Amino acid sequence: MGMTMAEKILARHAGRDRVCPGDLVNARVDMVLGNDITAPVAIQEFRKIGVEKVFDRDRIALVPDHFTPNKDIRSAEQSKLMRQFAQEQQITYYFEVGRMGIEHALLPEEGLALPGEIIIGADSHTCTYGALGALATGVGSTDMAAAMALGEAWFKVPPTLHFVFNGQLRPWVSGKDLILYLIGQIGVDGARYCSMEFSGTAISALSVDSRLAMCNMAIEAGAKCGLIAPDQVTLDYVTPRAKRPFEPVLPDRDAVYQAETVFDVSQIEPQVAFPHLPENTRGVSEAGEVRLDQVVIGSCTNGRLEDLRTAARILKGKKTHPQVRLIIIPGTQNIYRQAMREGLIDVFLEAEAVVSTPTCGPCLGGHMGILAAGEKALATTNRNFVGRMGHPQSEVYLSNPAVAAASAVTGKISAPEEVL
């Protein structure tokens, strides 16, 4: 009886021949991640453990991205604490403002998330790296502290749900739409503490950027992780970037899944998640007349170069609706620079958008685009809970970058075809 990807990776890192769902294991970790919100708590807990040095200064990444550039005194103090710890411990992968990016866009770009690895991060969207074949999952700050000291963490082996996406993608449909559609089918707790394994001809056809967006939202279905088996597309992306050797892991042909579901992607149009849950999805053609005050294109879900290129295709030669604020946030400094080289930033500025330095910013209601009472925003982010982007009486709708860009032009939720 074979093992799934999650089971094989956990078995290897725990020094076992095999593991089964429900087993409790201690496993070594390949990378530990923290940001300016979660790392300060972990650092305080690390001090209590009594060890003087982290287990490996090359296996820890600290990224100030949530409230940076610092929006107030409290966020400045948080970042200062993390900065001082990085200097004290000589952390190799500390990314200061000006060199940083949104953490889950930055680590893949920097070759710090690799196939076959276990990566834990004190941020729920750490599951993003499953797109590269890593078992990546969010943990609490105390677990991060223990991992920084010991280089290992404990896991309960999750059962695996297998989702197969076959067929030809429709125009403007991306990985973001596939995961929104799936969450709409199974609900925000439909994969609770499971590994979600994605495969099929449509998955094979996705770019790495689109795969990262898809696995990023596995947590929105309640999953422990989301995984795509490494293929040549994966290897072409990670090999020139990799900061350390890696060994890809594939699921066994006779792997045992808790359930398997097959989708025909030709039936899936661009999706929109309505307030106040990512499961409240419907096709963009069924969105109706939803007038908008703000559109945000960016975040760890859709702030990558492919996303900016898609938005620029829609926005070129057009203007943002006079009643809409359009905020565009490249995921990393490198993405920002490449967008400048390609003329994408000029397209955005001509469309009267605001272009920000990389930051999580409005996604978590931090800064750079907070909503007032009664306002509605369409965002390429991953969550639309009550008050997520500002006032509890505001509303957040989720979509892919193409729908977001088109909607910024029309002033209401719209399909790309409506402006092209």
Q: Which domains does the chain possess?
A: 5-263 (3.30.499.10), 271-414 (3.30.499.10)
* pLDDT score for 50: 87
* pLDDT score for 201: 97
Query: Which residues of the chain fall below pLDDT 70?
Result: none
- What is the distance between the alpha carbons of residues 404 and 176, in angstroms, rounded to a whole number? 12
- What is the distance between the alpha carbons of residues 283 and 277, in angstroms, rounded to a whole number? 15
* pLDDT score for 1: 82
Tens-place pLDDT, residues 202-234 = 999 999 999 999 999 999 999 999 999 999 999
Q: How far is CA 285 from CA 155, 242, 297, 312, 404, in A?
A: 42, 41, 20, 22, 14
CB 2 within 8 Å of CB 251: yes
Global pTM value: 0.95
* pLDDT score for 92: 97
* pLDDT score for 294: 98
CB 408 within 8 Å of CB 326: yes
* pLDDT score for 104: 97
Tens-place pLDDT, residues 313-371 = 999 999 999 999 999 999 999 999 999 999 999 999 999 999 999 999 998 999 999 99
Which candidate, 259, 343, 345, places its Cα nearest to that of 297? 345
